[in-house]
Amino acid sequence: MSASSLVLASGNAGKLREFARLLAPLGIAPIPQSQLGVSDAEETGLTFVENALIKARHAAAITGLPALADDSGIEVDALDGEPGIYSARFASRRQQGQGDQDNNAALLSALEGVPEEARTARYWCVLVYLRHAADPVPIIVQASWEGRVLTAPSGDGGFGYDPLFWLPEQGMSAAQLEASTKNRLSHRGRAMQQLLQALTAASESA
Ligand SMILES: O=P(O)(O)OP(=O)(O)OP(=O)(O)OC[C@H]1O[C@@H](n2cnc3c(O)ncnc32)[C@H](O)[C@@H]1O
Ligand SMILES: [Mg+2]
């Protein structure tokens, strides 16, 4: 990954903050796609992998730069894995508004009456790195993070579903973690570690 020129194919401010922190120690300051005039791609895939590829390819094609994309979401067991790839669109697909707060409210209402032990869930994160839009060997990594869905929001850090995502081992929600702790433990942080290993291996074998 080159230090000067990487487009981050995301419009999510929370993700952008986390990536900036994850990549800063490597001297990489990824450029958010909006700063390069790239609008959000239409996420028409049926998997996190497909959507991350769509986003990375879209940003690389428009900018001519290497691109990093993240497609992520929360899989809730009591909802048969929903909202999954539709996590960003959960409330809007149920005509219950849009955005993080409405998504959280929609998740709480979908889980009304579900007891604590049955509220198991996990975040997934798939990262795709493309050297250019037509890169035939994208680097694709994925990681998950286990937790439970609370019955009311707790904490004001993080973003998205974090105020509802309870971490039994830490005894707090993801929104109560320090940013650096979230990056060490999270689906995104651990996927990024894998991506960096894969990039190092690729550069050593080149
Ligand atoms: O597609 P981009 O532009 O990257 O931004 P987005 O917000 O639409 O991102 P996704 O399509 O990948 O949808 C991810 C959804 O999962 C949620 N999510 C992903 N990672 C999360 C995290 O670390 N903490 C809380 N919520 C998360 C997030 O809030 C979104 O609702
Ligand atoms: Mg999206």
Indicate whether 31 belongs to any domain. yes
Question: What is the 71 CA–ligand 1 centroid distance (Å)?
Answer: 7
Task: Establish whether this prediction's ipTM goes over 0.95.
Answer: yes
Indicate whether 27 belongs to any domain. yes
Q: What is the pLDDT of residues 172-204, one digit of tens each?
A: 999 999 999 999 999 999 999 999 999 989 888
Residue 142 identity (one-letter amino acid): Q
Opening angle at CA 162, ends 173 and 67, nearest 5: 135
Other beta carbons within 10 angstroms of residue 19's beta carbon come to 24
Q: Which of 71, 80, 135, 156 is catalytic?
A: 71
Considering every ligand atom shown, identify the ligand nearest to the alpha carbon of residue 175 and give its number: 1
pLDDT given for residue 206 in this prediction: 75
Indicate whether 2 belongs to any domain. no
Q: For the stretch 74-98, what's the b/e string if a residue is b when 16 or more beta carbons lie within 10 angstroms of its beta carbon?
A: bbbebbeebbbbebbebbeeeeeee
Distance CA 175, CA 165 (A): 8
Domain that holds residue 47: 7-205
Written as six digits, the tokens of 135 are 């890169």
CATH number at residue 175: 3.90.950.10
Task: Provide the residues around ligand 2 (an ion) whose CB is within 5 A.
Answer: 88
Please choose, from the candidates 155, 150, 3, 21, the residue with its C-alpha nearest in 3D space to the C-alpha of residue 65: 3
Assessment of whether the complete model's pTM goes beyond 0.95: yes
φ/ψ region of 155 (left if φ > 0, alpha if ψ in -120 to 50, else beta) reads: left
Q: What is the pLDDT of residues 81-102, one digit of tens each?
A: 999 999 999 999 999 999 999 9
If one residue of 38, 72, 76, 101 were mutated to test the ligand 1 pocket, choosing by the most ligand atoms within 8 A of its CB, it would be: 72
Considering every ligand atom shown, identify the ligand nearest to the alpha carbon of residue 18 and give its number: 1
Indicate whether 158 belongs to any domain. yes
- 71 flagged as catalytic: yes
Among all chains, which residue has been given the structure tokens 């959280």?
Answer: 104
Distance CA 145, CA 49 (A): 17
The number of distinct structural domains making up the chain is: 1
β-pair partners for 124: 73, 144
User: What's the mean pLDDT when you consider all of the chain?
Assistant: 97
DSSP 73: E
How large is the C-alpha radius of gyration of the chain?
A: 17
Other beta carbons within 10 angstroms of residue 22's beta carbon come to 22
Indicate whether 1 belongs to any domain. no
CB–CB of 173/164 below 8 Å? yes
C-alpha pair distances (Å), 118 with each of 78, 87, 148: 6, 19, 8
List average pLDDT for each run of 10 residues in the chain, which is 206 residues long.
82 98 93 98 98 98 98 99 98 98 98 98 99 98 98 98 98 98 98 96 84
Pocket of ligand 1 (CB under 6 A): 10-12, 15, 40, 43, 55, 70-74, 87-88, 100, 103, 123, 158-162, 174, 186, 188
Has 203 been labeled as part of a binding site?
no
